[in-house]
Amino acid sequence: MEGVVKGMSFWNNRNVFITGCTGFLGSYLAKELVNLGANVTGLIRDIVPQSNLYTGEEYKKINMVFGSIEDEPLLERILGEYEIDTVFHIAAQAIVGVANRNPLATFETNIRGTYNLLEAARRSPLVKRIVVASSDKAYGEQTQLPYHEDMPLKGSHPYDVSKSCTDLLAQAYHKTYGLPVCITRCGNLFGGGDLNFNRIIPHTIMSVLRGERPVIRSDGNFIRDYFYVEDAVKAYLLLAEKMTDLNLEGQAFNFSNEIQLTVLELVNKILALMKSYLTPVILNQGSNEIVHQYLSAKKAREVLGWRPSFTLEEGLIRTIDWYRKFFGKDAGKSES
């Protein structure tokens, strides 16, 4: 309970701005900050009625500003008028397949959106801390694993490049202008509320609930780092709370439960948790993706005292429960 009280004392009445607050991670972060007593302002591009943001009552306490991360004057207005103290830059085009099909739109959102946000913050003297969401994809393909924070950023496909750029821009604004920014690099986030059903976890759960065989686009052997969304929220908040006191500005932190799983192993784990006898369809069509990725979270453990609160299984069970409710109480009951 001490951590909760400490968190409440830090965030209570603090003016916080979140980009992408109707998105998957942004919705969880916004709701948690409301519950911790913060004054939350969120940038919303599209109205997404099914967003996790609108479950519960927290959204009624959020200042919602409709607009685009590509609109730098709007960002300056938000930071000024709402007297923002802390910024979480979460907004991004986050789907690898979409980035491959539409690279320019992805670059506009992920690269231009990031430098607009950083420039607006540079011009806003009240901003004391900024946390920018990068990704494990920013590292690109490396000869040694796991990824650690001092490795070069070597994205080579459109989404990966956009995240390498996001990361480097944040570092540049700190080194050149002293902007108080930290960077997060997380594995593949999962949890209830992810409405991108082309991602493997929500796709698999939805398929089982519909009595259909889940589809794996790749050969099933890609190895990934899967990270539960509620653990990600705690990681973001902890980093923001400690970045000034521990003089962490300009640094990047990996967050991971440090468990390696192939896509096929993950799908089979979900099928087992859902007590399903279905088997996956393996298309073997994966392209422009890194084969093997996983992160070391040693720095976060040692510097921040961070550790995940949920095991992979606990996170998956909570995720499955969310989608059962989302698709209806009787979803999947006829499947055996």
Q: Flag whether pLDDT at 163 surpasses 60.
A: yes
> Once rounded to an integer, what is the mean pLDDT over residues 211-228?
90
With CA atoms as reference, report the closest residue to 257 among 226, 229, 211, 281: 226
**Residue 227's pLDDT is what?**
95
- Rounded Cα distance, 133 and 130, in Å: 10
State the pLDDT at residue 219: 86
Active site residues: 159
CA nearest neighbour of 14 among 106, 88, 84, 110: 84
- For residue 260, give both structure tokens: 């390696």
Going by their DSSP bridges, the two strands 223-228 and 260-262 should be labelled as antiparallel
Residue 329 has a pLDDT of: 54
Packing angle, helices 229-242 and 24-35, rounded to 10: 60
What is the C-alpha separation between 190 and 318, in angstroms, rounded? 10
Arithmetic mean of pLDDT, 95-101 = 88
Q: Mind listing the pLDDT tens digit for each residue in 72-85?
A: 999 999 999 999 99
Q: What backbone phi and psi angles, to 5 degrees, belong to 130?
A: -135, 130
Pick 334 or 230 by higher pLDDT. 230
pTM listed for this prediction: 0.93
Out of 68-82, 154-168, 218-232, least confident range: 218-232
Binned at pLDDT 50, 70 and 90, residue 331 comes out as low
pLDDT bracket for residue 291 (50, 70, 90):
confident
